[in-house]
């Protein structure tokens, strides 16, 4: 299945029927870590679990308010001070009857 077809299909589904949880490691410039922390914390569906003095942050990201978790993660690169973003864990589940997820 083409990625764009998958994305469009998932965006069309009711969000309450989809469980999409991502574990993400974000590395930021140490001097910008508080401003990046505040920017990330303001995004619905983002939860910050740990932050180190050298600029590493561990977060979880979930679909929320009609915004796919993947789109949120991609947008992290636009926050000033972010050096890298790495997806470290992904869980996707749909509870739609009769639907199977490969």
Is the whole model's pTM more than 0.85, yes or no?
no
User: What are 86's two structure tokens?
Assistant: 């790495």
Residue 102 lies in a domain: no
The domain tally of the chain equals 1
Residue 46 lies in a domain: yes
Q: Could you tell me if residue 58 is left (phi over 0), alpha (psi between -120 and 50 degrees) or otherwise beta? A: beta
DSSP 78: G
Residue 100 lies in a domain: no
In terms of Cα–Cα distance, which of 67, 30, 27 is closest to 45?
67
User: What are 5's two structure tokens?
Assistant: 């077809």
What's the domain range around 89?
17-94
Each residue's pLDDT tens digit, 3-23: 556 556 656 655 555 678 999
Each residue's pLDDT tens digit, 21-73: 999 999 999 999 999 999 999 999 999 999 999 999 999 999 887 788 988 99
Residue 62 lies in a domain: yes
Give me the pLDDT at residue 65, please.
73
DSSP 79: S
Residue 3 lies in a domain: no
Residue 1 lies in a domain: no
- Domain with 73 in it: what CATH number? 3.30.70.920
């Amino acid at each position: 299945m083409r990625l764009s077809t998958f994305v469009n299909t998932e965006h069309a589904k009711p969000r309450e029927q989809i469980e999409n949880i991502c574990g993400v490691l974000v590395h930021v410039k140490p001097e910008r870590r508080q401003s990046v922390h505040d920017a990330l914390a303001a995004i619905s569906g983002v939860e910050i679990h740990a932050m180190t003095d050298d600029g590493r942050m561990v977060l979880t990201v979930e679909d929320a308010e009609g915004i796919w978790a993947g789109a949120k993660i991609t947008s992290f690169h636009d926050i000033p001070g972010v050096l890298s973003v790495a997806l470290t864990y992904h869980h996707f589940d749909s509870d739609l009857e009769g639907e199977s997820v490969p």
